[in-house]
Chain A
Amino acid sequence: MNAKRVDVEVIRAAVEQFLAKEGRLAFGFEEHNGSVRHRIQRTAARNLALFNPYFDLNGLLYLRRFFSKDARILAILRPCEIRAYVELTKLTQVERTSLIAVSVDCFGSVSSKEDLHFPLDPLALKSALEESGKLRYACTVCREPRGLVGDAGIRVDAEGKLWAQAFTPVGEEFLNLLHGTDEPAPDAFIVAEGRATDRFQTDMETFSRDFAKCIMCMNCRDVCPVCYCVDCVFQGDEYVPKGDAFINKVFRLGDTALPFGKEVFHFIRMYHVSQTCVGCGACEEACPQRIPLTKYMKGTSERLQKLFSYMSGRSFDEAIPYLTFLEDELKDAED
C-alpha cells in the first residue's frame, strides 16, 4: 500500500489550504499552554496538534446531528472518535458527505484530571506515556488504537516519521491536499493492534457493589458519543418515576434502594449501546463517582458484538447487527 510521507507542518499547510474555501471548518486538537484540547478552526490551523495524551471527551459528541450539506468539516482525531463517527453515519446521526474523517495513530491517553504533561513528539510521547503508568483503563484494553479507520489515516513508523494513507475516495481528497509524493509505506508502524481481552463475565453482586455509589446524574449517558436518542427513555416518568409516581411504586414493590432505577438505567444503556460502543471510556471519565463503567460497557459490548462477528467503527459498510438479519442463523435462539 502506498502512503505519503508527511510531518505536522505539511498537515498544517493542508488544513489551511482546505480552510481557504468558503464553508469549510477544521476540527482537531490544539496545543495551548501545555494542554491539548479540541478546537474547531475556521480561518487558520494555529497550534495544530495531532496527538492528544489528555482525554476529556469523545470529540464526536460535538458533531452529532450535524447535517449541513453545504459546510464541510475536516476532522483529524483519535481512532476511537473516528470509530464513533463511523457508527453515527450508520445511524444517520451525521451526514457522511460533509465530513472528511482522518484518524491518527494513538498511543493511549491519561485522564485530563491528572496533572501530567507530555511532550508531543510521537516517539517521546509514546515512551513518556508508558513510563507514567497512568494510562486510562479504556486505553489499556483498546481494540483499535491504529489510524486505520475512517476516510484516511496518519500512521507513525519506528523512526517517528508520519505517513498518511487514504482508505476511501473522500480520504484521497485529503491526501491530495498534502504536499509530497506517494511512496511505498513501511512494513511496520509502532502502534500495534490492541490485544484481545478475556470474555467478560461477572454477576449481580459485583455489579451492585460497583454501582452502589451511582447518583444517577446520567453524565455517562450525556457524554456518550453513540448514545444518541433525542427522546431518551429515561427522560419521562416511565422508567425512573419521580414524586407521587415514585412513592406509588415503592408501595407496590416494597423496600427500595436509592437512587431508584440505577440498575435498570445502566442495564438498558449497556444494551442500547452494545453494538455501537467504541470503548472510548468517556463515560468513566465523566463519572463523578469513579464507577468503573468502561469495564461493564466495553465488556458487554465486546461480547455482544462477537455474537455477530461485528466490530463497531471498523468499516462504513458493515451494517449494525440489530438493523439487519440473516434468515439462516441463531438456530439455538429459541428455548
Chain B
Amino acid sequence: MAEAEKKDGVEIVGFACSYCSFKASEMAGSLRLKYPEGVKVVQVPCSSRVDPAFVLKALFEGVDGVFVAGCHPGDCHFIKGNYYTRRKMAALKEMLNAFSMKEKLRLFWVSAAEARRFVEKVEKMYSQLKDARHERKEG
C-alpha cells in the first residue's frame, strides 16, 4: 500500500474460511464487486483455526480492526468448527469490551454464494472504523 494511503486509510485483517467466506471473496472478485484496499483477507482452513492469539497479534501490530468470517452455524465443512469459533470469538469480544475496544473485532457468517453480503459487511466495517479513526484524530 502506498505510504500516503496508509496514513488516512484503515487497515483490516480478515480471517476467512476457505470453504465459504474466502470463496465468497473470490466470487466478489469475479463479479467485479469492489471492497476497500485496506482489507487483507487471510485464508484459513476453517474459522475455528483462528486462535484468538492471531487476532490479538494483528491488533497490537497496528491494524484498525479484525474480522473472522466462517460458514453459517450448522453449515461447517468440518461439521462443528464454527460453533467453537462462535464461543471463542464471543469470549474474545467480551474481553476486548472489558478494555473498551469492542468495535475492533467482528464475526461474520458468510456462505460461498453470498459475495454481495461479504462485500456489504466488509464495507460497513471499514466505514465504521474510518469514522472512529477520524473522531479520534479530531477529538
Contact = CB atoms under 8 A, between A and B. Distances in A.
Contacts of A201: 98, 100
Contact of A300 (B62, B73, B98, B109): B98
A327 interface: yes
A263 B60 contact: yes
Nearest to B62: A253
Given A204-B100, A233-B53, A303-B95, A333 B83 contact: no
A335 B93 CA distance: 11
Interface stretch (B25-33, B34-42, B84-92): B84-92
B91 A307 contact: yes
Interface string A231-269: 001000001000000000000010000000101100110
A278 B86 CA distance: 24
Nearest to A299: B98
A204 B94 contact: no
Interface residues of B: mostly helix, strand, loop or mixed? helix
B84 A325 contact: yes
Q: In the complex, which range does the number of interface residues on chain A fall in?
A: 35 or more
Interface string B62-89: 1000010000011000001001101111
B61 interface: yes
Of the four ranges (under 10, 10 to 19, 20 to 34, 35 or more), the interface on chain B belongs to 20 to 34
A184 B102 CA distance: 51
Contact of A272 (B53, B61, B80): B53
Contact of A271 (B80, B92, B107): B92
Interface in A182-219: 200-204, 207
Nearest to A302: B98
27 contacts: A201-B98, A204-B100, A204-B101, A239-B57, A253-B62, A263-B60, A267-B56, A268-B57, A271-B95, A299-B98, A300-B98, A303-B94, A304-B91, A307-B91, A307-B94, A322-B84, A322-B88, A325-B80, A325-B83, A325-B86, A325-B87, A326-B83, A327-B74, A329-B86, A330-B86, A333-B90, A333-B93
